[in-house]
Amino acid sequence: MRLKTSSGAALAAAALLATAACVSDSTAENTSDSALSGSGAGEECAIEETVKLGAVFSLTEAAAFAGAYQQEGLELAIEELNASGDITYELILEDDKTSVEDSVAAFEKLIDRDKVSAIIGPTLSNMAFVTYTDSQSAGVPTLGVSTTAEGIPDIGDYIFRASLPEEVALAASIPAAKETLGMQQVAVLHDSADEFTASAYNTISDVLADEGIEVVVDETFETTDTDFSAQLTKILDADVDAVILSALPGATVPLVTQARDLGIEAPIVGGNAFNSPVLVGALGDAAEGLIVGGAWSAAAETTGNAEFIAAYTEKYDRAPDQFAAQAYTAGYLIDQAVRSDCDANREAIKDNLGQILEYDSILGKISLDEGGEVTQEPVVQIIRDGAFTLL
C-alpha cells in the first residue's frame, strides 16, 4: 500500500499505529497468528503460513571460522525440512560481524521487523549475554548452537541451547587428558576479556582441583593480544606436563605457534574453539596432539551422521565440523518443537523446545529442559596427523 498524503495528522496516526504494533509485539501472548497454527500432528503437521526463522551468526571477522560452518549446517537442515513435509521454513540470516553492536542490531531486526518465530545463534557467548535479554523481553524463543559459557540458559525461559556447555566438555577432556598424558603439573592460560573463555577458566580450575592436578603457571591475556612471550617464557621455565588453554581462535593461532617456536613441547588441552578444522589447518604441525572436548565427531555412529556428512560434503565441497553439526541439529530441534503442537507461534515453540526428550540426532540423544539447558554426551578428540580422532 502506498500512502498518498503526508499530512501531520496522517503521520501522527501512523506513528501511533506503529507504537501500538511495537507494544503488542513485545507481549508474547498477543503475537499469536492463527495461520502459524496448523492441522495434523507430528509428521503429518501442515502449516499454511511460511514459518520465518532468524539466525544470527558471525559470518565475517574473528568468529567466522565457526559462523560460516553454522550457516551451511543450518541451511542444509532447512533445505531438507522444506523438502520433506508440509511446513515451509524461511531462514532470515544475519551476520553480526563478530561484534556485540551488530549482534544486537540483528536481533532487533529479526524480532521487530521480520517478526520471526524463533532465532538460532549467535555464534559467541560474548554476544549472547547481551542479545538474549532482547529475545527474553520480546518473548522470542532463541536457541544457541555454540554458546557454551556458564549461565546462558539462566537469562530467561525463552533462552535455550543445543550447544554442549563448556563445563561438560572440560569435565570430560581434562580427566581424559590426565589419563592419556599422565598429567600432574600444568600451566593454565586464559583470555580474561571474553565471556566464554573467562567462564571456562572457572571450570578448568575446578576440574583440575577435583583431579588433583597442580597448576604451576596461571597466566592471562586478552582477546586481541598478539605477543605472548611473557606468559610463554614462564611456561617454558616451569616444565609442565600440559598446557590448558582457554582462548578464541584469533589468539590461539599466534599463541600456539609462538609456544612451539619457543620450544614448548607440552601437549595442549583446549576449549570449544579448538573444534575447528580451520584452526587446525592454520596451526599445521603445531596442532598435533591437541586434546579437546566437544559435541560431535565425524567418527560417531549416531543416527543420520554418515548421511549428514555425505550430504554436507556434496553440497559445500568440504567436510562439516562440529559447528555445522550443531546448527544442523538446531534446525531439526526447532522443527520438532513446531510439530509437537503443530504450531509455529513463538509461545508454542518456547513451550515445546523445553520438552525435547532424547531426540535422536547426529549429536547423539539430545534433550532440552524447561530451563533451556541441553543434555548430551560429550566426545573427547585428539588431533593426529592433522585430523580429529576420538581419544
Stretch that binds ligand 1QQ, among 109-117, 123-131, 175-183, 334-342 (CB under 6 A): 123-131
Q: Which is nearer to ligand 1QQ, 116 or 279 (CB)?
A: 279
Is 103 one of the binding residues for ligand 1QQ (CB under 6 A)? no
Q: Which is nearer to ligand 1QQ, 164 or 356 (CB)?
A: 164
In whole angstroms, the minimum distance from the beta carbon of 387 to ligand 1QQ comes to: 20
Alpha-carbon span 146 to 128, nearest angstrom: 10
Fill in the DSSP letter of residue 275.
S
Q: Which is nearer to ligand 1QQ, 75 or 321 (CB)?
A: 321
In whole angstroms, the minimum distance from the beta carbon of 258 to ligand 1QQ comes to: 20
> Helix 195-210 to helix 125-138 angle, to the nearest 10 degrees?
110
Is 272 one of the binding residues for ligand 1QQ (CB under 6 A)? yes
Alpha-carbon span 76 to 56, nearest angstrom: 16
C-alpha cell at 231: 606468559
# residues near ligand 1QQ by CB under 6 A: 12
- The H-or-E segment that residue 83 falls in is helix 64-84
Among 31, 71, 103, 125, binds ligand 1QQ (CB under 6 A): 125
Q: Which is nearer to ligand 1QQ, 31 or 252 (CB)?
A: 252
Instruction: Tell me the sheet residues that pair with 92.
Output: 54
Stretch that binds ligand 1QQ, among 20-28, 49-57, 122-130, 310-318 (CB under 6 A): 122-130
Interacting residues with ligand 1QQ between 167 and 196 (CB under 6 A): 196
Is 149 one of the binding residues for ligand 1QQ (CB under 6 A)? yes
Is 129 one of the binding residues for ligand 1QQ (CB under 6 A)? no
Interacting residues with ligand 1QQ between 28 and 87 (CB under 6 A): 63, 66
Can you give the three-state secondary structure of 279-299, one letter per residue? HHHHHHHHHCCCEEEECCCCC
Among 117, 146, 297, 345, binds ligand 1QQ (CB under 6 A): 146
Q: Which is nearer to ligand 1QQ, 85 or 277 (CB)?
A: 277
3-state secondary structure of 312: helix
3-state secondary structure of 361: strand
| Distance from the Cα of residue 196 to its chain's centroid | 11
Fill in the DSSP letter of residue 261.
H
In whole angstroms, the minimum distance from the beta carbon of 309 to ligand 1QQ comes to: 20
Instruction: Tell me the sheet residues that pair with 220.
Output: 190
Asked if residue 282 lies in contact with residue 255, where contact means CB atoms within 8 angstroms, the answer is: no
Alpha-carbon span 387 to 391, nearest angstrom: 12
> Computed over its alpha carbons, how large is the radius of gyration of the chain?
22
Stretch that binds ligand 1QQ, among 25-33, 117-125, 173-181, 285-293 (CB under 6 A): 117-125
In whole angstroms, the minimum distance from the beta carbon of 64 to ligand 1QQ comes to: 10
Specify the amino acid at residue 160.
Answer: F
Question: Which residues are at the interface with ligand 1QQ (CB under 6 A)?
Answer: 63, 66, 123-125, 146-149, 196, 272-273
